[in-house]
Amino acid sequence: MRNLLTDIEGLRVGHAHDTALASGVTAIIIDADNVASAVTRGGAPGSRDTTLLEPEMTAQGVNAVVLSGGSLFGLDAAGGVCNYLRGTGAGLRIGPVNIPIAVQAITFDLINGGNKDWGRKPPYWDLGWQAAERATDGDFALGTVGGGYGTTTVTLKGGVGSASMVTASGFRVAAIAVVNSVGTATIGNGPHFWAASVEVGNEFGGLGMPAHLSPSDLALRMKGGRQPATTIGLVATDAILTKPQAKRLAIMADDGLARAVRPAHAPMDGDTVFAVATQRKPLTDPLPDITEIGMAAGDCLARAIARGVYEATALPFHGAIPSWRDRFGKT
Q: 5-36 pLDDT, tens per residue?
A: 999 999 999 999 999 999 999 999 999 999 99
Q: Looking at the predicted structure, is the pLDDT value of residue 129 above 70?
A: yes
Instruction: Kindly state the average pLDDT of the residues 50-67.
Output: 96
The edge-to-edge listing of strands for the beta sheet with 11-18 is 11-18, 23-30, 64-68, 102-106, 47-48
Q: How far apart are CA 275 and CA 298, in angstroms?
A: 11
Question: Which residues are CB-contacts of 161 (< 8 A; sequence separation ≥ 6)?
Answer: 142, 143, 148, 176, 177, 179, 303, 304, 305, 306, 307, 308, 309, 310, 311
Do 152 and 141 meet the contact criterion of CB atoms below 8 Å apart? no
* Contacting residues for 245 by C-beta, under 8 A, at least 6 apart: 35, 277, 286, 290
Q: 144-181 pLDDT, tens per residue? A: 999 999 999 999 999 999 999 999 999 999 999 999 99
Average pLDDT, stretch 93-113? 95
Amino acid code (one letter) for 119: G
Positive or negative: CA dihedral 176, 88, 63, 241: negative
Q: Which of 66, 73, 116, 19 is nearest to 314 (CA)?
A: 19
Mean pLDDT along residues 130-148: 98
Can you give the pLDDT at residue 228? 86
pTM of the model: 0.97
Q: What is the mean pLDDT of residues 61-77?
A: 97
Burial 246-272 (b: 16+ CB within 10 A, else e): bbbbbbbbbbbbbbbbbebbbebbbbb
Higher local confidence (pLDDT), 288 or 319: 288
Averaged pLDDT, 110-116 = 95
Residue 59 CA to its chain's centroid (Å): 22
Distance CA 235, CA 226 (A): 29
> What residue ranges define each of the domains in the chain, with the CATH number in brackets?
5-320 (3.60.70.12)
CA distance 127 to 81: 9
What Rg do the C-alpha atoms of the chain give, in angstroms? 18
pLDDT score of 330:
67
pLDDT exceeds cutoff 90 at 257 = yes
* Closest listed residue to residue 75, CA positions, set 13, 25, 149, 20: 25
pLDDT at 262 over 60: yes
When pLDDT is averaged across residues 126-131 and rounded to a whole number, the result is 98
